[in-house]
């Protein structure tokens, strides 16, 4: 089973709203990722959690706030976003050892009005 | 700047033919290589991983790795219209948790 789930599938929010994206995996993976993807571009890394600790923050604006409550869950809290933040937000988790394979969730399509 | 380069395409292939996709990378320390398929509006789906020089086959897909020349390729045999998608090459260094993605190659399989 290589399933990563994400909710919601679609989200429309205003620039003054606060919302959260959720990601869950039950594969025992210990690294989890948030990516942002704009149309016709590759995924752009935002954050990496390794063993529930933030290990990489790719200089993402503070209006994006990640949280890893436990080894299976990853949240992305959104506040005061801009229209240019509209994108597909992808969560991924990674196996360990030689495999080191990242598996992506289905994504959340975010539209900021 | 560690880079992964792909031809953006579109690569137009007749149904039943072989699609050949190439990817070059700049970091000689790279150890793990992945091909993801992404349909429009969907998330990337892993189709192949390769770690050693040579060929790796999985169904209609063959990945080829040449670390000396720093390239990895993907062959799709007997291409089907359902193979029409963007193919992302991703490379991981030996240490750390990051993948570096190429820009993707768009493949169009015409019936």
Cα angle: A92, vertex A95, A100; to 5 degrees: 95
Alpha-carbon gap, residue A105 to A90, rounded angstroms = 6
Answer whether B97 sits within 8 Å of A94, measured CB to CB. yes
Q: What is the pLDDT of residue B95?
A: 74
* Mutation to test the B interface, candidates A6, A43, A88, most B Cβ within 10 Å: A43
Q: What is the pLDDT of residue A97?
A: 60
Q: Judge whether A97 is closer than 8 Å to chain B, CB to CB.
A: no
* Closest CA–CA distance from residue B6 to any residue of chain A (Å): 11
Answer whether A100 sits within 8 Å of B45, measured CB to CB. no
Residues of chain A below pLDDT 50: none
Residue B1 has pLDDT above 90, yes or no: no
Residues in chain A closer than 8 A to B36 (CB atoms): 104
Residues in chain A closer than 8 A to B46 (CB atoms): 2, 101-104
Residues in chain B closer than 8 A to A43 (CB atoms): 44, 88, 101
pLDDT per position as a tens digit, B29-86: 898 999 999 999 999 999 999 999 999 999 999 999 999 999 999 999 999 999 999 9
CA closest to A38 among chain B residues:
B41
pLDDT-derived band at B96 (thresholds 50, 70, 90) equals confident
Q: Judge whether B41 is closer than 8 Å to chain A, CB to CB.
A: yes
Q: What is the pLDDT of residue B23?
A: 98
Listed in sequence order, the residues at least 6 apart from A59 whose beta carbon sits closer than 8 Å to its beta carbon are: none
Nearest by CB to residue A101, choosing from B46, B98, B101, is B46
Beta-carbon count within 10 A of A89 CB: 24
Q: Judge whether A88 is closer than 8 Å to chain B, CB to CB.
A: yes
Alpha-carbon gap, residue B89 to A66, rounded angstroms = 26
Alpha-carbon gap, residue A87 to A112, rounded angstroms = 9
Q: Which of B28, B21, B25 is nearest to B48 (CA)?
A: B21
Alpha-carbon gap, residue A26 to A16, rounded angstroms = 33
Q: Which of B101, B106, B81 is nearest to B91 (CA)?
A: B101
């Amino acid at each position: 089973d290589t399933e990563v789930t994400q909710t919601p599938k679609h989200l429309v929010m205003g620039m003054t709203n606060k919302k959260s994206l959720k990601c869950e995996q039950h594969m025992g993976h210990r690294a989890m990722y948030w990516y942002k993807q704009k149309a016709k571009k590759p995924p752009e890394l935002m954050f990496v959690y390794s063993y529930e600790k933030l290990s990489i923050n790719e200089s993402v604006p503070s209006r994006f706030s990640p949280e890893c409550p436990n080894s299976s869950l990853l949240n992305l809290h959104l506040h005061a976003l801009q229209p240019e933040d509209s994108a597909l937000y992808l969560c991924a988790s990674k196996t360990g050892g030689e495999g080191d394979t990242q598996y992506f969730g289905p994504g959340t399509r975010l539209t900021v009005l | 700047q560690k880079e992964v380069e792909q031809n953006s395409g579109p690569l137009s292939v007749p149904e039943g033919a072989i699609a050949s996709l190439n990817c070059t990378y700049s970091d000689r320390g790279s150890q793990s290589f992945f091909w993801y398929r992404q349909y429009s509006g969907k998330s990337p789906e892993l189709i192949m991983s390769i770690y050693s020089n040579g060929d790796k086959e999985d169904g209609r897909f063959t990945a080829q790795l040449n670390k000396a020349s720093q390239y990895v390729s993907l062959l799709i045999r007997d291409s089907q219209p359902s193979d029409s998608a963007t193919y992302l090459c991703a490379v991981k260094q030996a240490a750390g948790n990051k993948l570096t993605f190429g820009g993707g190659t768009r493949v169009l399989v015409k019936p």
